[in-house]
Structure 1
Amino acid sequence: MPSHAPRLSRRALGGAAVATVAAAGVGSTARAAQAAEPRETPFKAATGRRSRRPNILFILGDDLGWADLSSYGAPHIRTPHLDRLARQGVRFTDAYSGSATCSPTRFSLYTGRYPGRTKGGLAEPIADRSVGLDPNHPTLASLLRDAGYATALIGKWHCGYLPDYAPTKSGWDEFFGNFGGALEYYSKLGLGGEYDLYEGDAEYKDLRYYTRIVTERASEYVKRDHGDKPWLLNLNFTTPHWPWIADGDEEASAEVVRRIEAGDKRALFHDDGGSVEKYTEMVQDLDRSIGQVLAALKESGQEEDTLVFFASDNGGERFSYNWPLSGNKSSLQEGGIRVPTIVRWPARIGGGQVSHEPVFTPDWTATLLEVGGARPDRAYPLDGTSLAGYLLRGERLPERELFWRVRGERAVRRGDWKYYRGTGGTDQLFDLAADRREQADRAADEPELLAELKAAWERTDAELLPYPS
C-alpha cells in the first residue's frame, strides 16, 4: 500500500523557531483547529539518548468525551494535569477507541485484535457472567510478563467475572478493582446489587470514594521498588461514568444505594440525576487524581523512563462535551469512538507535539509490545499497526483502514474518508478533513470510493464471529 507523510506538528515553545516542516504533511479532521501548527517528521527525544525498556503506565478514563479536556477545547472544564501531560508529549487529534462501548474496547486493547474475533468481545458491553476474556488468549499483559515485565491492573476490568475470568487469569500479576461495568462510588455495589471491589479474587472492604482508593493504590504501585523489572500498570478509572456522584456526595450515594437495595435495576444508570456541573466536577477530579499519580511517578525517579498513555475507553455520555462531533457512546459516529489520547515518554519522545494521524486502540497494543520487546503470538495475529517507528523514528505509516462494527452500525476510516452505515441502513461517505461533524454525505459524489470502502468493511466482517441471534 502507498504510504503518506506523518501528520504531525510541533508547537513553538517560548517563541523559539519551529523545527523542519514536512512538505508533504496533510492535516486531517483537526485541520481547522490546528491550521497554524506546521507539520514535521520529528518524534525525536529531547534527551537524545536511548532508554531501557520503558515502564508503561496506561490510563483509561471511562466514557470521557473527545472534547472533555481543556486541551481539546472544553470551554467549561479545566484539566491542567492532563493538559501539562499533553504539552510534555504528543496529543492525538484523530485517535479512536476500538469500539463504541466499554468492554469491547478493553478486549481490543488487551488482545490487540478486533473485538469480534472473540466471543466475549461480541457483548456490547458484557452484562452477565456468561462470557469473558478467555484466559488462554494471549494478552498485552501476558506477553509483556513473558518478556520480563511486572504487570498489574488497578480499577475497572469489565472483561468477565469470577470464577472463570479475571485479570490474574489473563497475564496480570496483581489486580485491585471492580469486575463489572459500573459501581456506586461509595458502597461499591454493582449493577446487580453485588459488592464489587476486589483484591485478586477476594472481596476488599473499603467504603471511601472509589476514585480516591484507585488513585492511592496506583500511586503506591508506581513508587514501589520493582527491582530490575520494568512494569506495566493498566490504570482504569471509572470516572466520569455514571452514577453522577462526586467525592463528598454522600446523600446522593445513599439514595442510589437505597434504590439498588429496593430492586431498582436501573438505579446505577442514574437516569434522573447528574448535570453538566456535576459532570464537570467529576472530570476535574479525574484530572487531579491523574496528577497525583504522575506526581508519585516523578517522586519515584522513574518519570524519564516511563511511557505514560492516557485515553478514554469510548466516546462521551449524556453530559459530555463532544462539539463539533456528532453522536455519543454506543454510536460509530465520531462522537462515539473518537477519544482524547495523549502519549509521553521523556527519554524517547520530544514534547509539545500534535499528531493528526488516524490511530485506534489495537495500534497501541502492537506499539507497546514492540517497545517492551515482546513478541505477539503468531496464532493470534494482531489487527493493529505498531506506531513505534512513527513515534520514535519519524517513519511513515502505511495507508490502511480502521475498522469498527457494532450491532446495527458499521464504519471504516481510510485517510480522511469515512464510510458509515447507521441503524437506518443507509450507506454514507464523509470527508472528515472538511466535515468532521459528518453532515455532508458525499456518497453520491464518490460512488466508486463508497463501494471500495464498503467492500473493505465486508471483507473484514467476514473474518469475524457472527453476533449471536
Structure 2
Amino acid sequence: MSLLPTRRAFGGLLGAAASATTLGAAAPRAAAAERPFQATTRRPSRRPNILVILADDLGWADLSCYGSPHIHTPNLDRLARDGVRFTQAYAGSATCSPTRFALYTGRYPGRTEGGLAEPIADQSVGLAPDHPTLASLLRDAGYDTALIGKWHCGYLPDYSPTKSGWNTFFGNLGGALEYYSKLGLGGEYDLYEGDATYHDLRYYTRVLTERAVEHVTTRAEEDTPWLLNLNFTTPHWPWIAEGDEDAAAEIVRRIRNGERRALFHDDGGSLEKYTEMVQDLDRSVGEVLAALRSSGQERDTLVFFASDNGGERWSYQWPLSGEKASLQEGGIRVPQIVRWPAVLDGRQVSHVPTYSPDWTATLLELAGARPAASHPLDGHSLAGYLRHGEEVPERDLFWRVRGERALRRGDWKYHRDQDGADHLFDLGEDPREQADKAAVRPELLDELRTAWETTDAELLPYPD
C-alpha cells in the first residue's frame, strides 16, 4: 500500500475523526466509558488462537455499541467493552465475495480473477487453490485451521476452503441460502462438511453456532494454536428469523417454481424481523464466546469481529450515506471489534482507519507467519500499533467496483459515483458525504484521482 509523501500528525486525524462516532440520533452506548486506544506493556505467553467472526450485511450502526437505538446486542457490546472498538473500519469491498478475497489473501480483490466477480454467482471463477491465504500461511506456521459458515469464494469441484488452506470446513459455498432448507440462489442444496453434502434442516444460524461451540471446546484439548473463521450468513436476506417456518416454506416453494429472485425476499422482511436476526446473531456470538471462556482459552484468543460490507434495506447506518454495493461510507464502513485479553486492555476506542487487508497482515505477524514473497500483501500490519503503540503510517485506502471508485487519504476521500461524477469529501467534518469539496480543492481532487489510477493500473481489468 502506498504511503503519503507528506503526512499530518495522526493525532489530528484522531481528533477530527472522533466526531464521526457521536453523530446521529443516539450516541454509541459504549462511548461514555471508552478511552482512546493505548497499547499496554503486557506480552503474550504464547501465539494467540485467532477467532475471526464475520457478520453478513450488518450495517455500521446496527449494534447498540455503535449507536443503534432499537437493536440490543449485549454480547457484542461486552466484546467491545472487553477490547477495542474501531470507528473508522472498512471492508475490502462493498459486496460479499471481494471482501472475503481481500481478507483471505490480504490483497486487493482486483489482483485475482475471482475477486473481479461482485459477487461470485457461478462456477466459472473462485479463489485459486495455489494462491496463498491467511489459512494456508498460518497452517504452514503450525496452526490448525477451520472455516465454519459462508465461504462464497467459489464452488466445487475446483474451489473450496479445504483447497485453500483450511483443514476443516463446515458451511455453505454460495452467497445466500434459505435458512431452513439450505437451498441457494439456483435451487441447489448448499450445506457441506468438507467437500461432501451434509443434511441438517434446522435454522442455519443455530446450526453454525452449535458447530462453532463444539469446535472451540474441542480445540482446548490440543496444544496447537488455531484459526477459526466463523462466517455467519446473518442478517443477510432472506429475512427469516428462527421459528419462521411458514415464511421459509413459501420461499422454498417459489425457488422450486423457478422464481429467480425468491431468495432476495423483495416483498418480505421488516424492521422488527431484522432486529430479531441481529439480536439472534448477538446471542450466537455470545454462546461461542462463552465456550471460549469455559474452556479456558479466552485470555489467549484474539477475537476479531466485523461485517463483510455495509448493510441494506433494513439496516441502521446513521450518519453514513449509501449501503451495500456502494462505495459511499454506508457501503464499506463496518463495525469492527478486537479483543485479546493477554495483550489489550478493554474499554478502548480507536479512530485509526483500517480495512480488511490490514488484518490479514496483522494476524500473520502476530502469529509469527510470513507472507508469501510471490504474492505481496496490500494491507499494512497493525501489530506494532496494537502491541507497542506504534503510530500507523497514513496510507491510501483503495476501493474499486464496477462503475465506482474510491480512495481515502487521511480525512480526505475521493469518490467517483455510478454516473461518472467525481467528488471530494472531508470525512473528519462530513462523514455523511454531503459537502462536496471537489470545486474548492481541485488540486487535491486531481492528486487523489491520480493516486487511484496508479493503483488501478496494477490490477486486472474487469471482463467485458
Deviates further, 443-452 or 292-301: 443-452
Q: Which of 281, 286, 289 lines up with 2:281 in the alignment?
A: 286
Asked whether 1:397 is paired with 2:392, we answer: yes
* Alpha-carbon offset, residue 49 of structure 1: 3.9
Structure 2 letter corresponding to 1:327: G
Q: Secondary structure in 1 aligned to 2:153? A: coil
Q: Which of 121, 124, 142 lines up with 2:136 in the alignment?
A: 142
Structure 2 letter corresponding to 1:405: R
Asked whether 1:27 is paired with 2:23, we answer: no
Query: Would the aligned equivalents of 1:156 and 1:177 in 2 still touch at CA under 8 Å?
Result: yes
CA offsets, 1:2-57, max 9 Å, x none? Answer: 566556xxxxxxxxxxxxxxx99533164461898897561216xx3423100000
Partners of 1:392 and 1:413 in 2: CA distance:
25
1:421 corresponds to? 416
Q: Which of 58, 63, 70 lines up with 1:69 in the alignment?
A: 63
2:463 corresponds to? 468
Query: Would the aligned equivalents of 2:148 and 2:230 in 1 still touch at CA under 8 Å?
Result: yes
* Alpha-carbon offset, residue 424 of structure 1: 1.1
Q: Which of 338, 343, 346 lines up with 1:348 in the alignment?
A: 343
Asked whether 1:188 is paired with 2:182, we answer: yes
2:375 corresponds to? 380
Asked whether 1:207 is paired with 2:201, we answer: yes
- TM score, norm. by length of structure 2: 0.95
2:323 corresponds to? 328
Asked whether 1:270 is paired with 2:265, we answer: yes
Partners of 1:450 and 1:3 in 2: CA distance:
17
Alpha carbons of 1:271 and 1:412: their partners in 2 closer, same or farther (altered >3 Å)?
same
Alpha carbons of 1:287 and 1:111: their partners in 2 closer, same or farther (altered >3 Å)?
same
Alignment of 1:33-182 (within 5 A): 33=22, 42-44=38-40, 48-182=42-176
Asked whether 1:367 is paired with 2:356, we answer: no
Partners of 1:93 and 1:352 in 2: CA distance:
13
Structure 2 letter corresponding to 1:61: A
Alignment of 1:213-292 (within 5 A): 213-225=207-219, 227-292=222-287
Partners of 1:324 and 1:129 in 2: CA distance:
38
Q: Which of 192, 195, 199 lines up with 1:198 in the alignment?
A: 192
Structure 2 portions without partners, runs of 5+: none
Partners of 1:213 and 1:110 in 2: CA distance:
24
Query: Would the aligned equivalents of 1:3 and 1:396 in 2 still touch at CA under 8 Å?
Result: no
CA offsets, 1:53-99, max 9 Å, x none? Answer: 00000000000000000000100000000000001000000000000
**Alignment size in residue pairs:** 452
Partners of 1:24 and 1:321 in 2: CA distance:
25
Partners of 1:352 and 1:292 in 2: CA distance:
21
Asked whether 1:358 is paired with 2:347, we answer: no
* Alpha-carbon offset, residue 228 of structure 1: 1.8
Name the % identity. Answer: 74
Partners of 1:338 and 1:211 in 2: CA distance:
24
Partners of 1:315 and 1:60 in 2: CA distance:
12
1:10 corresponds to? none
* Alpha-carbon offset, residue 125 of structure 1: 0.1
Query: Would the aligned equivalents of 1:6 and 1:395 in 2 still touch at CA under 8 Å?
Result: no
Query: Would the aligned equivalents of 2:358 and 2:380 in 1 still touch at CA under 8 Å?
Result: yes
Structure 2 letter corresponding to 1:193: G
Structure 1 letter corresponding to 2:195: D
Alpha carbons of 1:175 and 1:38: their partners in 2 closer, same or farther (altered >3 Å)?
closer
- TM score, norm. by length of structure 1: 0.94
Alpha carbons of 1:394 and 1:302: their partners in 2 closer, same or farther (altered >3 Å)?
same
Structure 2 letter corresponding to 1:320: S
Asked whether 1:297 is paired with 2:292, we answer: yes
Structure 1 portions without partners, runs of 5+: 8-22
Query: Would the aligned equivalents of 1:215 and 1:292 in 2 still touch at CA under 8 Å?
Result: yes
* Alpha-carbon offset, residue 448 of structure 1: 1.1
Partners of 1:165 and 1:128 in 2: CA distance:
11
Alpha carbons of 1:145 and 1:433: their partners in 2 closer, same or farther (altered >3 Å)?
same
CA RMSD of aligned residues (A): 1.6
Structure 2 letter corresponding to 1:278: K
Partners of 1:4 and 1:88 in 2: CA distance:
31
Partners of 2:250 and 2:21 in 1: CA distance:
45
1:19 corresponds to? none
Structure 2 letter corresponding to 1:438: E
